[in-house]
């Protein structure tokens, strides 16, 4: 598909309309796929709940997309938190796709972002970032 023929949303921005599987891989047009996520910006706690629900459904790529919406709409000082959380979900996606090297690299990046954010004074919205990273490492390594 040429750039001029790309799928576009109502605002004219490029948007992939191809159906996707649970790990975000594109499927042929016309295939049954999973519905795209709701990209409405949410408050922090609602974003976390939505991402958790997507993870519980086995959709780490979709959880990454939900966290990315928050990352792009949050206050500047919170960006390392949301970027790091999104990267954790991408690491889980890579692990499930069989890309161990990519999973490790993304988890390292996530750890740097979350480590830079975890100063004890910035809000983590009930998340234990050390525990979250340890859990993700176990999933990536397992």
What's the mean pLDDT in 130-138?
A: 96
Burial of 41 (0-12, 13-18, 19+ CB in 10 A): exposed
CA-to-CA distance for 125 and 104, rounded, in angstroms? Answer: 25
pLDDT digits (tens, 9 = 90+) for 6-20: 566 676 655 567 889
User: Nearest 5 degrees, angle CA 95-CA 100-CA 132?
Assistant: 55
pLDDT tier at 1, thresholds 50, 70, 90: very low
pLDDT value of position 9:
60
Contact in structure between 88 and 69 (CB atoms under 8 Å): no
CA-to-CA distance for 51 and 63, rounded, in angstroms? Answer: 4
pLDDT value of position 142:
81
| Structural domains of the chain sorted by starting position, each given as residue range(s) with its CATH number in brackets | 44-141 (1.10.3450.10)
């Amino acid at each position: 598909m040429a750039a001029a023929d790309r799928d576009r949303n109502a605002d004219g921005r490029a948007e992939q309309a191809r159906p996707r599987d649970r790990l975000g891989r594109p499927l042929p047009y016309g295939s049954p796929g999973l519905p795209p996520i709701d990209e409405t910006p949410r408050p922090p706690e609602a974003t976390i709940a939505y991402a958790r629900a997507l993870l519980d459904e086995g959709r780490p790529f979709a959880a990454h997309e939900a966290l990315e919406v928050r990352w792009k709409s949050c206050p500047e000082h919170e960006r390392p938190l949301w970027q790091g959380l999104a990267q954790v979900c991408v690491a889980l996606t890579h692990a499930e796709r069989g890309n161990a090297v990519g999973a490790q690299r993304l988890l390292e990046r996530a750890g740097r972002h979350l480590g830079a954010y975890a100063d004890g004074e910035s809000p983590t919205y009930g998340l234990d970032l050390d525990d979250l990273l340890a859990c993700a490492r176990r999933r990536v390594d397992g």
